[in-house]
Amino acid sequence: MELIILPATLESLTESIGTVADWLTLHVTMWALVGVGLFLTVVSRGVQLRHFPRMVSTVLRSRNGAGNGISSFQAFTISLAARVGIGNVFGVAAALMFGGPGAIFWMWIVALVGMATAFFEATLAQIFKIKGTDGSFRGGPAYYIYYGMNRKVLASIFALITVITCAFAITSVQANAIASTLESAAPKSTLVVAALLVAFTGPIVFGGIRSVAKVTEIVAPVMATFYVAVVTVIILMNISEFFSVISLILASAFAPEPLVGGLGGGIFAALINGTKRGLFSNEAGQGTAPNAAATATVAHPVQQGLIQSLGVFVDTIIVCTATAVVILLAGPETWGAEGVNPANLTTLAVAHHLGDWAVFPMALMIFVLAFSSIIAAYVYSEVNMAFITEHRYARLAVRLVSVASVGLGAVASLPLVWNAVDIAMAVMTVSNLIALVYLYKWGTGALRDFEAQTAEKEIRFYTFKNPHLPRELPISVWDH
């Protein structure tokens, strides 16, 4: 009898957690992200727009100058690897299916707002970072909640949730997404995929954060460039229809009813789905990317803030838009076909344009996307474990759990974990947003300090008696 009740109980628990997660996303997290993003845009006088050219130039000059540490470019690619994940493939497809083409317009809007949020959280992560016992920099929401707000308990809770979410849950669900995708391209491959994932993940994770940085420095730019190149080829093949697709996106964003059969739509559906998918694709405000941003060696915190802000632009405005255009160019015979779902729609759209041979390369690309997110999630978990304790056994435990979760996630069905991740991310996001609002004067102060030095040959930052900052910090890596 117990064997019958247990699955039913588990299913009921999964459904209940899913209901709570959906409510939090729709009524709390989504609007908090938009509201705080707008607030930070106003107080920074539109930093994401005013300094956009400097974002690009800063990234191009950010490969060097870190010595034995993590370069600004490497920190950028770690967070980019996490941002440009399966959400760019599955999430965009879901936004189109349930919100129609107009959802993409609202994804653009929330990305522009999210760029300000990403700027502030990365800048704060740099200001309040510390140097670990191994000589590397550590920082992120847990650190600026503690050192900036003096809330040790809240900081510790945030760090613990991040460790569990990133080391176990995110790694599991990303591995599950890889296995599910490759199963459709190569049936009965789940165990092989699990073994390969463990074999690939283990050496990188046990090599530490510097090892991850070396991998993402190569993989993230190549991955994004390859995907955009494929999309560019498809657009050129359909150039006569490209501008019609852009017009459709703009028109559908404000249409009271769906303009395209087979896809969801109407202004409310477009707004909700575009906002939701856009926010959770680029990670701005969730409190994950700042953990990577803090590891970088930079001359001024604002430099990393600008770089991380550009990451949101690359993720949503470039990569997500590329996915949407490919799907819309495929036409209703693809998105309206029987059995289509967000998990396979993008692959089917690419195959429609390039032929069935493209299915396996797309599956391989999704493998790389999700794998990059896995190793980036490990970085986030280790940084937060270091906040709790820097004991080597704790670090070893995080690495073991991360690798084991990859193998488990590839072979298990994880609806409960997926829903639990949503709740954990909601808690992390709200906590992080509260901290960003509380500490925003540190971000605007650092920005004023940076802007005052833009004409100088060498930009530097200090917290001791800096007239632009709210107060002095008792401990700061910037004044040594």
Q: Is 468 helix (H, G, I), strand (E, B) or coil?
A: coil
What's the angle, vertex CA 361, arms to CA 360 and CA 364, rounded to 5?
90
The closest alpha carbon to 320, from 234, 208, 227, 388, belongs to: 227
Per-residue model confidence (pLDDT) at position 306: 93
Domain-wise residue ranges, the chain: 2-450
Q: Compute the distance between CA of residue 48 and CA of residue 289 in angstroms, rounded to an integer.
A: 17
Q: Which string of DSSP letters, residue by residue, matches 416-463? A: HHHHHHHHHHHHHHHHHHHHHHHTHHHHHHHHHHHHHTTTSSS-----
Q: Compute the distance between CA of residue 104 and CA of residue 93 in angstroms, rounded to an integer.
A: 10
What is the per-residue pLDDT across 40-67, written as a single tens digit (0 to 9) for each? Answer: 999 999 999 999 988 888 877 765 554 5
- DSSP label at residue 299: S
Per-residue model confidence (pLDDT) at position 260: 52
What is the per-residue pLDDT across 215-268, written as a single tens digit (0 to 9) for each? Answer: 777 777 787 788 888 888 988 998 888 888 888 888 887 876 554 555 555 666
What is the per-residue pLDDT across 323-368, written as a single tens digit (0 to 9) for each? Answer: 889 888 888 777 766 767 777 788 888 888 888 888 778 877 877 8
Q: Which string of DSSP letters, residue by residue, matches 395-421? A: HHHHHHHHHHHHHHHHHS--HHHHHHH
pLDDT band at 424 (very low <50, low <70, confident <90, very high): confident
Per-residue model confidence (pLDDT) at position 36: 94
Q: Compute the distance between CA of residue 82 and CA of residue 282 in angstroms, rounded to an integer.
A: 9
Report the predicted TM-score, pTM, of the whole model to 2 decimal places: 0.86
Per-residue model confidence (pLDDT) at position 3: 45
Are the C-beta atoms of residues 194 and 52 closer than 8 Å to each other?
no
Share of the chain above pLDDT 90, in %: 14
Dmax over CA atoms of the chain, in Å, equals 76
Looking at every residue in the chain, the average pLDDT score rounds to 81
Beta bridge partners of 107: none
Per-residue model confidence (pLDDT) at position 394: 84
What is the per-residue pLDDT across 111-124, written as a single tens digit (0 to 9) for each? Answer: 899 999 999 999 99
Residue range 156-178: mean pLDDT, rounded: 83
Are the C-beta atoms of residues 433 and 36 closer than 8 Å to each other?
yes
Q: Compute the distance between CA of residue 376 and CA of residue 169 in angstroms, rounded to an integer.
A: 13
Q: Compute the distance between CA of residue 385 and CA of residue 380 in angstroms, rounded to an integer.
A: 9
Residue 292 has pLDDT above 60, yes or no: yes
Q: Please provide the CATH number assigned to the domain covering 2-450.
A: 1.20.1740
Residue 305 has pLDDT above 90, yes or no: yes
pLDDT band at 319 (very low <50, low <70, confident <90, very high): confident
